[in-house]
C-alpha cells in the first residue's frame, strides 16, 4: 500500500488539473475574440485595403468600427390609397443576425488511477520412502541372514511470479452554452431597431 501511495504522490496533479482549466480559460478568451470579430465583420463595413485588424489598428486610440452595414430589399404592399406600390426596407444586419456568445458553463475533471501488484509464490514438495526387509534361514547352525534396504527421496520445487499493472485515465467534460447578450449590445440593438426604414422605392 505504501508503494502505491508513493507512486500516486509522484503524479503531477497540478498539471493534470491545471492544464484543462487553463485550456478552458483560453477557449473562453478565443470565444470572446470570435464574437468581436463576428460583430465587426458582419455588422460594419470594412474599407477596402485596410486589412482584417481595422478595429484595433491603433492601440492608442478608441476602436473605430466604421459604418454600419445594412441589408436592403424591396417588396410590394398597398399604400394609403390602397394602390399596390413597391417599398424598400433597410435593416441593420446586426438586428437580424444571431450574435454568438459562447460561454463555458461547466467543466468536470475525472482522474482515475489503478495500481495493482501481484506476487504469487508456489512451493511443491514430495517425499517417498521405500524399505525392504528380507530374511534367510538354512539350518540350525547356519546364521540367520537378514538384509535391510531403505531408499528415500525428497523433492522440492518453488516458483515465484510477480506482475505489475498501472492504469491511468483522465476524462475532461466541458459544457458550453449560448450566453446572454451583454447589456451594452442589447441597448445598441434597440437603437438600431429605430433605424429600420420603410419607404417607397424610387423609380
Q: Is the pLDDT of residue 25 over 80?
A: yes
Question: Could you read off the pLDDT of 63-97 as tens digits, one per residue?
Answer: 777 788 888 888 888 877 788 888 888 888 888 88
Q: Where are the domains of the chain?
A: 2-67+102-122+168-178
Give φ, ψ of 116 to 5 degrees: -135, 125
Distance, in Å, from the CA atom of 203 to the CA atom of 200, rounded to the nearest integer, reads 9
Distance, in Å, from the CA atom of 90 to the CA atom of 187, rounded to the nearest integer, reads 19
Given this model, what pLDDT does residue 143 score?
A: 58
Given this model, what pLDDT does residue 57 score?
A: 66
Residues 6 or more apart from 71 whose CB is under 8 A from it? 90, 91, 92, 93, 96
Q: Is the pLDDT of residue 60 over 80?
A: no
Provide mean pLDDT across the span 176-194: 84
Instruction: Write the CA distances from 48 to 37, 67, 87, integer angstroms.
Output: 17, 13, 31
pTM: 0.59
Instruction: Name the CA dihedral angle for 154, 155, 158, 159, rounded to a multiple of 10 degrees.
Output: -170
Given this model, what pLDDT does residue 90 score?
A: 86
Output b/e per residue, 11-31; b: 16+ Cβ within 10 A: eeeeeeeeebeeebeeeeeeb
Nearest Cα neighbor of 7 from 166, 170, 169 is: 166
* Cell of residue 128, nine digits: 517417498
Amino acid at each position: 500500500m505504501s508503494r502505491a501511495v508513493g507512486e500516486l504522490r509522484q503524479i503531477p496533479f497540478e498539471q493534470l488539473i491545471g492544464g484543462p482549466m487553463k485550456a478552458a480559460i483560453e477557449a473562453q478568451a478565443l470565444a470572446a475574440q470570435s464574437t468581436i470579430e463576428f460583430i465587426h465583420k458582419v455588422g460594419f463595413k470594412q474599407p477596402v485595403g485596410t486589412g482584417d485588424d481595422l478595429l484595433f489598428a491603433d492601440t492608442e486610440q478608441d476602436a473605430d468600427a466604421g459604418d454600419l452595414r445594412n441589408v436592403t430589399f424591396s417588396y410590394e404592399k398597398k399604400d394609403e390609397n390602397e394602390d399596390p406600390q413597391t417599398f424598400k426596407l433597410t435593416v441593420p444586419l446586426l438586428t437580424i443576425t444571431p450574435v454568438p456568445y459562447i460561454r463555458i458553463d461547466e467543466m468536470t475533471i475525472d482522474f482515475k488511477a489503478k495500481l495493482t501488484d501481484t506476487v504469487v509464490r508456489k512451493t511443491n514438495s514430495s517425499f517417498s520412502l521405500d524399505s525392504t526387509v528380507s530374511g534367510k534361514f538354512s539350518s540350525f547352525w547356519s546364521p540367520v541372514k537378514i538384509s535391510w534396504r531403505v531408499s528415500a527421496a525428497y523433492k522440492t520445487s518453488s516458483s515465484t511470479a510477480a506482475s505489475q499493472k498501472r492504469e491511468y485515465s483522465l476524462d475532461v467534460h466541458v459544457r458550453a452554452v449560448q450566453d446572454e447578450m451583454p447589456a451594452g449590445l442589447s441597448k445598441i440593438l434597440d437603437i438600431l431597431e429605430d433605424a429600420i426604414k420603410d419607404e417607397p422605392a424610387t423609380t
